[in-house]
Amino acid sequence: MDECTDRLLDVQVLKFGTYTLRTGLVSPVYVDFREIFGFPDLLCELAELIFQASREAQYELVCGVPYTALPLATCLSITHRLPLLIRRKEAKGYGTKRIVEGKFVPGQTCLIVEDVVTFGTSILDTARILQQAGLKVPRIISAAAMSYGQRTLLPTTAPFATRLLSLMEEKRTNVALAADVLSCAEALALAEELGPEICMFKIHADALGGFDESFHLRLAEIAKRHRFLLFEDRKFADIGSVARRQYEGGIFRISHWADVVTVHAVAGPSALLSLQEACSSTDNGAFIVSEMSCQGSLAVGNYTQAAVEMAKVCRDFVAGFICTSRVTTDPSWVLVTPGVKLQEGGDGQGQQYLTPEEVIGRRGTDVIVVGRGIIDADDRLATAQAYRHAAWQAYEGRVAQI
Residue 2 in marked binding region:
no
Cβ pair 7, 42 in contact under 8 A: yes
330 is known as an active-site residue: no
Q: Which residues of 1-29 are buried (b: 16+ CB within 10 A; e: fewer)?
A: eeeeeebbeeeebeeeeeeeeebeeeeee
Residues 339, 140: Cα–Cα separation, whole Å:
26
Residue 150 in marked binding region:
no
235 is known as an active-site residue: yes
**The one catalytic residue among 32, 125, 206, 238:** 238
Residue 351 in marked binding region:
yes
Write out the DSSP string of 199-235: SEEEE-GGGSBT--HHHHHHHHHHHHHHT-EEEEEEE
Q: Considering only CA atoms, which of 267, 275, 206 is closest in space to residue 234?
A: 206
233 is known as an active-site residue: yes
**The one catalytic residue among 233, 259, 330, 366:** 233
Residue 339 in marked binding region:
no
Residues 327, 320: Cα–Cα separation, whole Å:
10
DSSP 196: G
Helix 40-53 × helix 70-80 angle, to 10°: 70
**The one catalytic residue among 125, 206, 235, 316:** 235
Which sequence positions are flagged as catalytic?
Answer: 233, 235, 238
| Annotated binding residues | 180, 202, 293, 351, 371-372
Binding site as annotated, residues for substrate: 180, 202, 293, 351, 371-372
